[in-house]
Structure 1
């Protein structure tokens, strides 16, 4: 089961770092999406930091289980917020990826807890 946790952690961390990178580059797609969601530009640094911290916490959590669980719970909350933000403006297309990442974060919690 630990191998499954490692694979899930690596994949999730790659997705998080790619998303944080796109946010930091302020690509047109990201800028338009954040504007549609009503996210202020000043909040972007927080969102980027949360994603990077979640990725780092998940990876370091492979060694220290409690940190991995805390990071995965934080990611779950982050993505639940993203789903709610998309649903609030009626963006079902954007809510789907956030929903998938919410489920992936819950999987990380379960796998890490099961491998303590």
Structure 2
């Protein structure tokens, strides 16, 4: 298995699992960021489940179910494009680095999975 694919995919899985857990726990930084971009707290659990599903799909892709990994990577890329767009729309520049970082991880994981 390619070391870059393994490393980037594991980092993406861990990052998304971690932020999904923070979303579900309604961590104070999550609530503050969501409020800043106009996301109501009741929307956090469904968004967390999307992130967790993306992480699980990437993990399954890592374990050999390549189409599921590619689909999960695509879903995460689309999710984080939306998150970056929400930050831009709300003009919240202070925390835009976080969705950009998650987007970069998702793009890298997807590109490496598709290249295999």
Q: TM-score w.r.t. structure 1 length?
A: 0.92
Q: Which runs of 4+ in 1 moved over 3 A?
A: none
1:59 equivalent in structure 2? 59
2:23 equivalent in structure 1? 23
Deviating more after overlay: 51-60 vs 93-102:
93-102
Shift of 1:93: 2.4
2:98 equivalent in structure 1? 97
Number of residue equivalences = 115
Q: Which runs of 5+ in 2 are unaligned?
A: none
1:114 equivalent in structure 2? 115
Shift of 1:59: 0.6
Q: Which runs of 5+ in 1 are unaligned?
A: none
User: In the TM superposition, what whole-angstrom CA distance separates every residue of 1:2-36 from its partner, at most 9, and x where no partner exists?
Assistant: 22111111111111111111111112221121111
In 2, the alpha carbon distance for the partners of 1:32 and 1:104 equals 23
Q: TM-score w.r.t. structure 2 length?
A: 0.92
Deviating more after overlay: 104-113 vs 51-60:
104-113
